[in-house]
Structure formats: structure tokens, C-alpha cells
Chains A and B, each alone.
Chain A
Amino acid sequence: GESVGLHLPTLSVQEGDNSIINCAYSNSASDYFIWYKQESGKGPQFIIDIRSNMDKRQGQRVTVLLNKTVKHLSLQIAATQPGDSAVYFCAENLPSGQNFVFGPGTRLSVLP
């Protein structure tokens, strides 16, 4: 199938370890953020979102942290599994809400 993100930054982690994927977003006025996971040949899959009035949100095995001061977003994945291997994108949305702007992506590779 199609390979997504051939030349993206890669994060390699051992199975069972925690992963931290970082994203610098571009617009200080953005008020809504989403992390997506994309596997080869598939569309982006929603993982977790956060609004700008929060600095942390937890889901199942995932946590998103938002630092508005430095325009930084991170995704933490606990107990990383082989099925977590994919390209991860952060997306930001302005209050006008016209569209989601995607970051460049990070490839997560889970080592056995």
C-alpha cells in the first residue's frame, strides 16, 4: 500500500515503553487541536483533541499536553504497542474554524 511520510522525523521506541511525540503549532490564536494517527494507505484517524482553555487531557493510553506560551503540543502514548506504529499529525484550528492546519508529522516505529 501507499507509504505515508517517507522522509518524516522518526521516533523509535521499544514495545512497552512510553512514547512522546511533539508538535509546534503555528498560530497563537488557534483554540482547538487534534492529534491524528495515519497508517499507510489509510486516512487520518482521530486520536484525541484539546481546547485552548485546557492544558492537559487524557484518553485511553494517550495524553495530550498543550503549552500555549510556547505554542507546543505533545502526545504521550503509554505502554506503546506494535499497533501504534504509524505517522502522527497534530492539527490546529483557528477560532474562525475554517479548516484544520496540519503539522509535518512524526513517524512512530515500535521495536519488538
Chain B
Amino acid sequence: DTGVSQDPRHKITKRGQNVTFRCDPISEHNRLYWYRQTLGQGPEFLTYFQNEAQLEKSRLLSDRFSAERPKGSFSTLEIQRTEQGDSAMYLCASSWRDLGDTEAFFGQGTRLTVV
């Protein structure tokens, strides 16, 4: 499978715990995006990387959210001190950008439930 891969698919955690999600993009893609999706809504942009550089992070929902892409390949999204309002689907996408954009392909997402 050469698509975008996310792990885990589902995560149930207690409020106050930290969680980390992993995304493996399509190997030749230089851009990686993180989105959040709640029921009845379209995906909401959180942050993105161009290779290993995080070029936009002002949309991260709070300072409890952080993302890394240390070697320009896989990425992790961490949520510290989870709250019930963090329950959502977290989606990763990747694309190739050179002179212009190309299609962004999404993974299957990680469903987070905070209890």
C-alpha cells in the first residue's frame, strides 16, 4: 500500500493523558498536512510541513497541540493533557508542491475519544 498511513486508527484515552499519533505520507511527497474533523463538519486545517520545516502552526488549537516531522518523512501529532473537546478524527494528508499544488491525499484518520 503506497497511500498515506495513519496509526493508530482508534485511540481511547482518559482526560488529562497525553496522546501521540503517527502519519506516514506518500514517500515522494514533500508536503504533509494535519487536519481535525468533528461530526458534521469538513476537515479543519491544523498545521503543515514542507519537508521537515513546519511552515504554519498558528492554526493549532492550543499550546497543548504540537507536531513534528523530524526527517521530512513521517510526522507525529501530540496532544498533551487531553480534554473531552479534543475528541475528533485527526486526519493526515500529503501532496507534492513544486511550482504549483497537486492533489492532497488523505489517510484513513485516527479517531480519538477522550473519556
Contacts and interface: CB of A to CB of B under 8 A. Distances in A.
Interface of A: 2-8, 32, 34, 36, 41-46, 49, 51, 89, 91, 93, 97-105
Contacts of A45: 106
Contacts of A7: 40
22 contacts: A3-B39, A5-B39, A5-B40, A6-B40, A32-B101, A43-B107, A44-B91, A44-B93, A45-B106, A49-B103, A89-B42, A97-B97, A97-B100, A98-B48, A99-B45, A99-B56, A100-B93, A101-B45, A102-B42, A102-B43, A103-B42, A104-B42
A61 to B, nearest CB: 18
Nearest to A36: B106
Given A2-B89, A98-B56, A46 B104 contact: yes
Given A43-B91, A49-B103, A93-B101, A98 B55 contact: yes
B97 A104 contact: no
A8 B104 CA distance: 23
A46 to B, nearest CB: 5
A51 B100 CA distance: 10
Given A2-B89, A32-B100, A46-B105, A100 B41 contact: no
Q: Is the interface of A mostly helix, strand, loop or mixed?
A: loop
B48 A105 contact: no
Interface residues of B, number: 29
Q: Is the interface of B mostly helix, strand, loop or mixed?
A: strand
Nearest to B89: A2
B108 interface: yes
A45 B105 CA distance: 7
A103 B43 CA distance: 9
Contacts of A51: 100
B111 interface: yes
A43 B108 CA distance: 4
A8 B42 CA distance: 10
Nearest to A89: B42
Interface string B92-114: 01000100110111111101000
